[in-house]
Amino acid sequence: MADRKEKEDGGTRRRGAARDVAGQAAEQASAAGEKMSEAASGLADELRSAATSLLEDQKGRAAELVHGLAAALKGAARSFEHEQQKFCAHYTDEAAEQIERFSETMRGRSFKDLIAEVDAAARRQPQLFLLGAVAAGLVAGRVIASASGRTASPAAGYGATAYGSQSANYSPGLGPEGM
């Protein structure tokens, strides 16, 4: 009976030791999980900060481009005044002033605030928002085309290249050669 009692005591001690080891392992796993969670949270904060910084830099560049557009419009307004086209000069100057105010607004607000404001405006007046997007696209196309020095002449007609000459395989009045 004493052997049995010793065996039971030995089994109980082993089970207790196993519980202690399991408890320690659980504590270590929990601590490692907390460290990993803290590291992941720190990494997420760093990424968020880097993204915010990048967006703010891009916002600053965009504000400078918008400011440049306003300056170009002011120059066009002065040109219209010089040519005695007061009506065009007036509206071009007003557009330049509004664009300049928008540029200042871009500089003074956070990227998140600007996105929220554009979203709200688009929801309030979707037609005006789409019209503005089309106008911005046309202006951007004109600016890019003039910057590259390539302009297509509408009078050049079918088959014209970007430089206003006829394409190599086009015969006026006959269509593409070989037909």
| pLDDT confidence tier of residue 7, bands split at 50, 70 and 90 | low
Burial of 70 (0-12, 13-18, 19+ CB in 10 A): buried
Question: What was the pLDDT predicted at 103?
Answer: 87
pLDDT digits (tens, 9 = 90+) for 129-155: 788 788 878 877 877 877 776 554 554
- Write down the domain spans for the chain: 57-108, 110-142
Query: pLDDT at position 150, please?
Result: 58
* Residue 76: Cβ-neighbour burial (10 angstroms; 0-12, 13-18, 19+): middle
Model confidence pTM above 0.75 = no
pLDDT score recorded for residue 136: 79
Residue 174 has pLDDT above 70, yes or no: no
The percent of residues above 90 in pLDDT, for the chain, comes to 2
Report the pLDDT value the prediction gives residue 42, as an integer from 0 to 100: 86
Q: Can you tell me whether residue 145 is helix, strand or coil? A: helix
Q: 43 Cβ partners below 8 Å, 6+ apart? A: none
**What's the CA gap between 116 and 47, in Å, rounded?**
22
Task: Find the angle CA(69)-CA(132)-CA(93) to the nearest 5 degrees.
Answer: 40
Task: Report which of 138, 102, 97 is spatially closest to residue 121, judged by C-alpha positions.
Answer: 102
**Could you report the per-residue pLDDT of 87-107, keeping only the tens digit for each?**
888 888 898 898 898 889 888
Nearest to 79 by CA among 92, 64, 96, 69: 92
Min mean pLDDT across 42-51, 52-61, 149-158 is at 149-158
Confidence of residue 37 (pLDDT cuts 50, 70, 90): confident
Q: 137 burial class (0-12, 13-18, 19+ CB within 10 angstroms)? A: exposed
